[in-house]
Structure 1
Amino acid sequence: MMYDRKQWSDDELIDIYQQLLLPRMIEEKMLVLLRQGKISKWFSGIGQEAIACGVTHALQQDEWIMPLHRNLGVFTGRHMPLSTLFKQWQGNKDGYSKGRERSFHFGSAAHHVCGMISHLGPQLALADGVALAYKLKGEAKVAVAFSGDGGTSEGDFHEALNVAAVWDLPVIFIVENNGYGLSTPTNEQFRCAQIADKAKGYGMEGITIDGNNILTVIDTLKGVREYCIKEQKPYLVECMTFRMRGHEEASGTKYVPQHLFDEWKKKDPVENFEFYLQQTGVINAQQIDALKQNLKAHIEAELTKAYDTAEMMPDEQEELADVYAPVKPMPVPAVSPTSLITDSNNSRFIDGIRDGLYQSMQVHTNLVLMGQDIAEYGGAFKITEGFVQEFGKARVRNTPLCESAIVGSALGLSLEGYKSMMEMQFADFVTVGFNQIINNLAKIYYRWGQNADVVIRMPTGAGVGAGPFHSQSNEAWFTHTPGLKVVYPSTPADAKGLMIAAINDPNPVMFFEHKALYRSVSGYVPSHYYEVEIGKARVVQEGDDISIITYGSGVHWAMEYQQRHMNVSLHILDLRSLLPLDYSAIREAVQATGKVLILHEDNLLGGIGGEISAWISEHCFDMLDAPVVRCASLDTPIPFNIELEQQYLAKSRLDAAVKKLMKY
């Protein structure tokens, strides 16, 4: 292996050698502990250390890195205390994730290391968001994301690179090509000669380098970093290497031909660099032995500290409390933001949403809006029309059709203290960003204390003849996910107040907006800046006969029904928030009449009505004078034909449900 020492002094080369040697020695110790049953799982990076160590060495300490399983050198290169790392791998309370995550599925904002999820590809888009934050701040920094060769086949790889290229973001994408994705060789994963060849297709530069040559990695990354900062463009670096052990230790290596191990053993990054330093007189055998003894003593001392930890004592309340970042009271802005509306009763539902966004953009200069066609065009429903002229394209950003990457970018912005709102053009399209929402946004605070300050707007619902892919009520998908908040306003005033509250909230909020209400519902909306508290229901009207618990379009169906049936006295509760639910208000609604009808547009099976019904039966049974009745839409996809759609909707069965309850 040929090394070019360039400007490095002897002391610097020895320091690089020590950085390369430390993760190797830690790993060797971890493999012993694995055999002893003291850790449960290990993903070995032996043979690949030069990449993680070299990349980390080339960066500034405050530049974010998104590492994966085999990047121990990132963690040691950021000087994370070994005792805390050992506690993490043992699942101890004092690890970085309080025992909630294993191996390398954790991060540390203090060290600018972002914790991975098992799906691998989604990490790439987070680097886009971080780089966008650097760009908006005018900081000379890059973000770095790692991928394996297998991960480059995922759609998230394509989306992340495409967004980085289109937005001219200073991101370095590192691909560790070790020849196998678990057991599948690269010739069964892609057909291009090198992964770096893909870079041109995205309009970015790419290079393939020897990933086992530590000096090549450092020198290349330093040059690429300078390029990305100067040109404000992304770069793809493919590092050729080899995994000397299994995908993880339990998987073994029988699927790898022996000649590859023989070939790559000769290219061992630690042994070759050690030999080079000896051959050039930078270090001698005695110094190497002393260095190894010092590192071994350091590792053992840190392990001793790690073993000296309290026994895990599960605390249910602590677990529940750590699902969401605490919400701090939002101080009233010193200067009242300019409103797009006036104090009148003629504000439409869409106006409330728009004004909430507009005033939030004024209050939070770190708020970025993202979505398909939301800039000059104003979005599919014209909610952000005129915003780009007011706030500029840097903060009102059109996106490619990359829902997953944009959700990931929104999370990346959070790492650097930004707020973001992403518009799903239709709530139905959220399926292609589902993984980022469920596994990244929702879990990140619980996993390692990093909040996701993201609002995702979800134009939802039927009633406009848009068919099965533009009309779904899919809010229940998200109410099942701890870590998310789900709001669903029904009035213009609540739409504005909940939008402002959602943006002020440091947690990820799914903001459902019924499309049929946009221009059909009007009401009073205050022009001043205000919040409607998330998690608090609203009593629409009090009644004596039946309590209808509902939200969104269901509120208007119930009100219309009451106007046509004055012989029935309805108590109508608008939930407004579906996660968290206002259980106190639900209890009071049950107590008001003793008869409960849960009404929602979503399908019956799996809808949130089932959860509310179960809770009432469990906690309010003695208040009931009749079984809880659910009124929901048919368990079919949503049809296009208007007559079929009307039959599908829960509204068509509301009268029968009310009459059923009245008979008791």
Structure 2
Amino acid sequence: MLTSTKSLITYDKKNLDDKTLLSLYKNMLKPRMIEEKMLILLRQGKISKWFSGIGQEAISVGVTMAMQKDEYILPMHRNLGVFTTREIPLYRLFSQWQGKANGFTKGRDRSFHFGTQEFNLVGMISHLGPQLGVADGIALASLLKNKKTVTAVFTGEGGTSEGDFHEALNVASVWQLPVLFCIENNGYGLSTPTSEQYNCKDLADRGKGYGIESFILDGNNILEVYATIKKLAESIRKHPRPILIEFKTFRMRGHEEASGTKYVPEKLMKEWSKKDPVDNFRAYLMENSLLNEKEDQGFREVILDEINEHLQLAYDEDDIIADVATELNDLYKPFQYTESTPSTKTKELRLIDAISQGLKQSMEKHNDLVIMGQDVAEYGGVFKITEGFVEAFGKERVRNTPICESAIVEAAMGLSIAGIKSIVEMQFADFVTSGFNPVVNYLAKSHYRWGQEADVVIRMPCGGGVAAGPFHSQTNEAWFTKTPGLKVLYPAFPYDAKGLLATAIEDPNPVLFFEHKALYRRIRQQVPINYFTIPLGKAALLKEGNDVTIITYGAGVHWALETLDNNPDISADLIDLRSLQPLDKDAIFESVKKTSRAIILQEDSLFGGIASDISSLIMEHCFEQLDAPVKRVASMETPIPFIEQLEEQYMAKGRFEEALKQLLAY
């Protein structure tokens, strides 16, 4: 704390009026006083955890006051001043921290892990990096809508070591996105000092490598922060581009309160305590007769009364009552399926053509729909599915991306937050591993956490049979059917691919759309030429019989059809699932109860695949009707190999016929 009555920080008020100066002070004082109250409540066990931003208020307040209220800010957990300066009612923040319904996450997440469209704020997730790419997407939407707005996003010095940081900066630079990247360099990532976090003098220097302007600011000097950010934001609105800001500051308390600060040298703590942004600015205002003790005490009393009043509102609020239906209903944004009827006029299309035609018709129907991916523009994608799209829709909507799957998935999330649908093409489904975190932790969980839909379709060219080896031939749908909040589609025919893709794009929830590469040019079918939809979660009964139920999807459908063609004496129901999440359980149960035998065929390796769950469901719901154990057939428990003879041995196709006959003979 500042012991002198004289400010130890040098301030330059420039042309700022007295009202603005006092507003800056009051906006810093408010989060400081809230924090002091929260630390008391933490010790009393009335809140569960606290991440303190004491000593960093000038950054949050200065940036927020420099922004327009309709501009998005993506803060971290030490940016309480962002939320209070945006004038969120305090009882809602208190309810959030106490897990009450008037918070923003219905007790499902804590701290600042939430967003609110009402106040144009998008909170962090614990993985730190993804919000940077999300900011790119929001800024891209600003460009596409010609809104001339700025997006500000925060990270700490520790977060700059994550790949998301570098990907987001690169994308923002290449696309010249109006983003303010704000690094709060506060000395420590939990207990790890900056000397062990990075090996450069200033993090701002990283901007140079990406062709981005960068600045270093005293993060404890509220006037420097406010005046500089205000000037830069005005410049970005006129000339859109990213700018990187490094705020030099210090974390005066532990990473969170349980961590303590024993690892911080006492001398360093004393030095920074003298630079307290609130105390120093208060001293400056008093030195210049802009504030006196009585006025300051009046400000504090008003804030304290507000804190106590709103705390009582939160205390008086009923606790959340756990309700299964509520939890399940909030997993996805409600989607009212509307049927678009297929025309009687058809054309024979390959699977690849049907997907391309479906994409094009969706781009025509949704006039702001954006496609993003590696080589999807002039080149038309590695499979030529988007060939000609640039000429039809322009480069603004058909966007080549750098090789950075994580940042592009995050940008798609940002577009959704800003109200724009998008499609991300993974060049190969295998490459989704480089964007796995935002898929399963951001897209999948956002609606459940704070009611924000992730209106994103991720196209996943997948599967073997093309001699492409372990990194281009995986069929990895089980990674995502395991993740609540995602929808997973896997069509086997051109007709289904086109209709399901249209529905996936209409659906405001995140959808992974698997496309089997070996079927792209091999499977043909008469497909309606118009735009049409197929409901999600409805399986197709391709053949009817009485002896056995065959359940499969993707390439497995064609393996099963070939087997049945070669064995006309086998009477089978053949179910093409088409949709893996949601799953048509009723179709499965109805068929199995009729035939009393079930075999599930998947291209994925056996253990942990979706066949295991379907088998369990059948055992739980149809056990009394079964005349034989449920049979699963899958590929080998190895990565998929390259050379033809090894790939053929790996595939489930070669084992299916024998397994089917064994089941029938049981």
TM-score under structure 2 length normalisation: 0.98
Matched, 1:165 2:173: yes
Amino acid at match of 1:170: P
Could you tell me which of 471, 477, 480 is aligned with 2:479?
477
Opposite residue 201 of structure 2, the aligned amino acid is A
1:634 aligns with 2:642: no
Residues 513-542 of structure 1: per-residue CA shift (max 9 Å, x gap): 000000000001101111111111110111
Tell me if the contact between 1:543 and 1:592 (Cα under 8 Å) persists in the aligned partners.
no
In the alignment, which of 506, 510, 513 is matched to residue 512 of structure 2? 510
What do residues 593-642 of structure 1 show as CA deviations (whole Å, max 9, x unaligned)? 11100001011000000000000000111121111000000110001110
Deviation, 1:15, is 1.3
Q: What is the aligned counterpart of 2:391 among 385, 389, 397?
A: 389
Aligned equivalent of 1:18: 26
Instruction: Provide the secondary structure at the position in 2 that maps to 1:467.
Output: coil
Listed one character per residue, the Cα deviations across residues 137-166 of structure 1 (whole Å, up to 9, x for unaligned) are: 111101111010000000000000000000
How far apart, CA to CA, are the structure 1 residues paired with 2:508 and 2:347? 32
Instruction: Letter of the 1:408 partner, please give it.
Output: E
Equivalent in the alignment of 2:4: none
For 1:373 and 1:9, the matched residues in 2 are separated by 52
Deviates more, 1:618-627 or 1:270-279: 618-627
Q: How does 1:162-311 map to 2 (within 5 A)?
A: 162-311=170-319
Structure 2 partner of 1:621: 623
- Contact preservation (8 Å) 1:343, 1:524: no
- Cα distance in 1 for residues equivalent to 2:351 and 2:224: 59
1:422 match: secondary structure: strand
Choose the corresponding residue for 2:329, options 308, 321, 328.
321
Q: Secondary structure at the match of 1:440?
A: helix
2:13 counterpart of 1:8 = no
How far apart, in 1, do the equivalents of 2:611 and 2:386 lie? 33
Q: Alignment partner of 1:432: what SS?
A: helix
Q: CA deviation at 1:662?
A: 1.1
CA displacement at 1:569 relative to structure 2: 1.4
**In the TM superposition, what whole-angstrom CA distance separates every residue of 1:547-585 from its partner, at most 9, and x where no partner exists?**
100000011001011111111112100000001100111
Distance in 2 (CA, whole Å) between partners of 1:620 and 1:142 is 57
Provide the rounded CA distance (Å) in 1 between the counterparts of 2:442 and 2:349: 36
- In the alignment, residue 285 of structure 2 is paired with which amino acid? L
1:597 corresponds in structure 2 to: 599
Residues 120-139 of structure 1 correspond to what in structure 2 (within 5 A)?
120-139=128-147
Cross-structure match for 2:111: 103
How far apart, in 1, do the equivalents of 2:207 and 2:104 lie? 35
> What is the Cα deviation at residue 228 of structure 1?
1.8
Matched to 1:31, the amino acid is L
- Aligned counterparts of 1:614 and 1:454: Cα–Cα separation in 2: 31
Structure 1 equivalent of residue 379 of structure 2 = 377
Determine the C-alpha separation between the residues in 2 that align with 1:13 and 1:231.
28
Instruction: Tell me by how many angstroms 1:592 deviates.
Output: 2.9
C-alpha displacement at 1:332, in angstroms? Answer: 5.5
Please report how far the alpha carbon of residue 97 of structure 1 lies from its aligned counterpart in structure 2 after TM superposition.
0.4
* Unaligned runs of at least 5 residues, structure 2: 1-8
Distance (whole Å) between structure 1 residues aligned to residue 295 and residue 552 of structure 2: 74
Q: Which residue of 2 aligns with 1:538?
A: 540
- SS of equivalent residue, structure 1 residue 620: helix
The alpha carbon displacement at 1:404 in A equals: 0.1
SS in 2 for 1:233: coil
Answering whether residue 615 of structure 2 is matched by residue 607 of structure 1, we say: no
Deviation at 1:366, TM superposition (A): 1.6
Q: Provide closer, same or farther for how the CA distance between residues 332 and 464 of structure 1 changes in structure 2, counting only shifts above 3 A.
A: closer
Matched, 1:427 2:433: no
Per the alignment, residue 583 of structure 1 pairs with 585
For 2:457, what is the secondary structure of its paired residue?
A: strand
- The residue that corresponds to 1:51 in the other structure is 59
Give the one of 365, 368, 381 matched to 1:366: 368
Residue 470 of structure 2 corresponds to residue 468 of structure 1: yes
- Specify the SS of the correspondent of 1:458: strand
**Structure 2 counterpart of 1:426, one-letter code:** F
For 1:155 and 1:312, the matched residues in 2 are separated by 38
* Identity percentage of aligned residues: 59
AA matched with 2:348: N
Are the equivalent residues in 2 in contact too, given 1:501–1:531 (CA < 8 A)? yes
Shift of 1:352: 1.1
Pairing of 1:75-154 with structure 2 (within 5 A) = 75-154=83-162
Quote how far apart the aligned CAs of 1:10 are.
1.6
Q: How many residues align?
A: 658
Q: How far apart are residue 201 of structure 1 and its match?
A: 0.4
CA separation in 1, counterparts of 2:404 and 2:278?
40
Q: Describe the shift of the 1:386–1:39 C-alpha distance in structure 2 as closer, same or farther (beyond 3 A).
A: same
* Contact 1:330/1:504 (<8 A) preserved: no
Q: State how far apart, in whole Å, the 2-side matches of 1:124 and 1:331 are.
A: 37
Distance across 1 between alignment mates of 2:487 and 2:138: 23
Structure 1, 439-448 or 87-96: larger mean CA deviation: 87-96
Tell me the residue number matched to 1:415.
417
CA offset at residue 229 of structure 1?
Answer: 2.0
The one-letter code sitting in structure 2 at the alignment partner of 1:550 is: T
Match of residue 155 from structure 1: 163
**What displacement does 1:475 show?**
0.1
RMSD: 1.2
Instruction: Please give the per-residue CA displacement for 1:344-393, whole angstroms capped at 9, x wherever unaligned.
Output: 45211011111110000000012000000000000010000000000000
Structure 1, unmatched stretches of 5+, are none
In 2, Cα distance between equivalents of 1:229 and 1:463: 51
Report if aligned partners of 2:339, 2:534 keep a CA contact under 8 Å in 1.
Answer: no
* Amino acid aligned to 1:147: T
Look up the SS of the partner of 1:159 in the other structure.
helix
Deviation at 1:32, TM superposition (A): 0.2
**TM-score, normalised on structure 1?**
0.98
SS at match of 2:121: coil
Instruction: Give CA deviations for 1:398-437 in whole Å, capped at 9, x if unaligned.
Output: 0000100000000000011000000000000000100000
Q: 1:402 corresponds to which letter in structure 2?
A: C
Distance 1:627 1:110 in 2: 54
Separation in structure 1 between the aligned mates of residue 172 and residue 413 of structure 2, nearest angstrom: 15
Q: Distance in 1 between matches of 2:76 and 2:333?
A: 25
